[in-house]
Amino acid sequence: MNKFIRKTFINREYSWLQFNERVLEEAYSQNNPLLEKCKFLSIFTSNLDEFFMVRVGSLFNELLVNPQAKENKTGLTPGEQLDGIYKYTKKLYDMRAKTAKKIFAELKKEGITIENARLKNKKAGKRFENYFQKTMLPLLNPIVIDSKHPLIHLSNLRMCVILHLEHGGKNFFGILPVPNKCDRLIIDQDESGVKMMTSEDLTYYFANKVFSKYKVLSKAIVRLTRNADVNTEVYSVDYELEYDFSKLLKRKVDSRTNLPSVRLEFSSANKIIENFLCKNLNINSNQCFTIQHFFDYKFLFSIDKYLPQDKVAKLKYPPLQSRALPLAKAKSVMSSVLARDLFLFYPFDSMDTLLDLLDNASVNPRVAGIKITIYRLDKQSRIVEALRRASRNGKDVTAIIELAARFDEENNLHVAEILKEAGCTVVYGVGNYKVHSKIMLIVLQEGENISYITHLGTGNYSESTSKQYTDFNLITANHEIGSDAADFFRNLSMGDVHFNYAKLFVSPETLKEGLLQKIREQTTLAKKGKPAKIVCKMNSLTDVDFIEEFIRASIAGVEIQLIVRGICCLLPGVPGKTENITVKSIIGRFLEHSRIYSFGAENPEMYISSADLMTRNTEKRVEIATPIIDEKIRSKLSKILEVIIADNEKASYLTAEGKYIRKQEPGQSSQQFFIENAV
């Protein structure tokens, strides 16, 4: 019996590992072009790294504070969850090794050979040796550990070569960090093709020469993963007049390099080196993993430049040409949206429509102010430039920036400083609630009359992710929504998150109860024998209150279709409980990131939202769900959902046994449909 499944619930961490396994399946699938499979292999590894730093890190924190605590779905303690995670991870590493071997064989057929000095007993080419001697050797900092030189600090995800040495009848350990300033890939190219070696393999290969006065008994490349689950909460003692949250956050982020170890990876099994590091790093053997091939695969993103361009085109998806939104006879986006609501579906619709609107607002004399929430941005952002321009043009610009956006803290601190220097009003979120909502308000003034243009979306204000993530966007001049938005920004600027709005559901106050009530309304209809239907698309479903409400709706006879890309803690298809619920996950070329909640069998009520149905979103963050009022946009969204529900090519279905399966029948990729067809 799977201890990670209980009745109608699935453990959160187990479900996440299943999701990442589906990502890895895309790297193995013959349906994807070779260079796209390389991308999926890299994404799988990056996902796993972040999972260990954050989720495993948080379980370690809980283990220290309350080891007997039981999670609210399957009753597992932190220790039981960690044991299961480490066992599942070993399985995933085996799958990754099989996938990488297959990909490397396919690359070799295309003329690219990735050398692995640890797996092949042969000499390195002259080109590799010259690079090591000329470029790498001057950057190396070898250390022999003894009483005067104890074990050096191993940084998070930093690769090092560890050597077991012998000299004068005594044993030592040597450490050789792989230089950060070197190229990750070293290239040897001739008429026979392209040979590549990573910097860590080159360091490993020539490590004996660095420690030439010692006898090298054994060696291994290692990589340590540290807990990065930094607590960004602040307490009343911190709130003083000179208090600056940005400085506190920077100190907490900097502390990540010193947090406890959660995983240790080795390039080859070596008990002597493993025991030495486990003892000195306070890590257990079950946290150690032997890695075939490489620790990460980011270098695979750059190998296309070593192939002929005509060949690259065949080994990738055809480039996507995002549509510019047709604006009929309108001269600008602003005049168009004042006439009717606009809908953007990234990446199939271009973000340029929204950026053009903001550019126009920054110089338009009718615009009195611009307000925006910022969670993640590109390092070079048109959004930031437009806000600076607007401020210079005398407009009131307010940016509520979430400094605690995990792994984007430094960039957000930088953006905050740039906007403050430009004269913008910058607010650092709201207390201990992360501001995750995606909303922008343009305030128009004509005499004493005020009107609004509001943008609400499911994704970040990032130009790069708008080309990689699927997201829904509404741009509306609806006065009630605009008035809600104005109240929203005013309340957040004063630190007030407990407020009711006319049209918007906003967490932590009204979003959860608002959406739960919509589910209950469908349950009531079903009990009366009337048609009742719920369709929800999200990234994750973990909130127990929503899961239990879905179960009650299913028992009443409501048809429930859930499209959940990642974590899903609800088990569908259980007789008498969830037999009216289906759950599917789509992993495709673009990251499925759009969130929509639809209620009703005919002419359904629809909300798009920045929030997943997770407790952290519904209770611990500031999120927004906005109704779709325009009938044409609701009709468009209904058609989009129909296509997604019909997707059999990229979809996996969750069974009552807690497994994800692919349907072996002809189907259509929804993303490919959206590329080929205007919705």
Q: Provide φ and ψ at 451, rounded to 5°.
A: -135, 170
CB-based contacts of 177: which residues, under 8 Å, 6+ apart?
A: 140, 141, 158, 159, 160
* Helix (H) or strand (E) run with residue 288 in it: strand 288-290
Amino acid at 397: V
Classify residue 607 by its DSSP letter: E
Q: Annotate 420-464 with three-state secondary structure.
A: HHCCCEEECCECCEEECCCEEEEEEEECCEEEEEEEEECCCCCCC
Write down how long the chain is: 679
CA distances, 83 to each of 60, 71, 73, 284 (Å): 11, 15, 17, 11
> CA 39, CA 300: separation in Å to the nearest integer?
7
* Helix (H) or strand (E) run with residue 102 in it: helix 78-109
Catalytic center residues: 436
Q: Provide φ and ψ at 126, rounded to 5°.
A: -60, -40
3-state secondary structure of 627: strand
> CA 179, CA 200: separation in Å to the nearest integer?
8
* Helix (H) or strand (E) run with residue 493 in it: helix 479-493
Q: 604 preceded by cis ω (within 30°)?
A: no
Closest Cα partner for 174 from 162, 192, 188, 190?
Answer: 162
> CA 341, CA 610: separation in Å to the nearest integer?
19
3-state secondary structure of 143: strand
* Helix (H) or strand (E) run with residue 592 in it: strand 591-592
Two tokens at 660? 């994800």
- CA 433, 436, 439 angle in degrees (round to 5)? 125
CB 164 within 8 A of CB 171: yes
* Maximum C-alpha span of the chain: 90
Closest Cα partner for 324 from 304, 346, 291?
Answer: 346
Paired sense of beta strands 505-506 and 469-476, if any: unpaired
Two tokens at 117? 């000095």
**Nearest 10 degrees: Cα torsion 225, 227, 228, 232:** -170
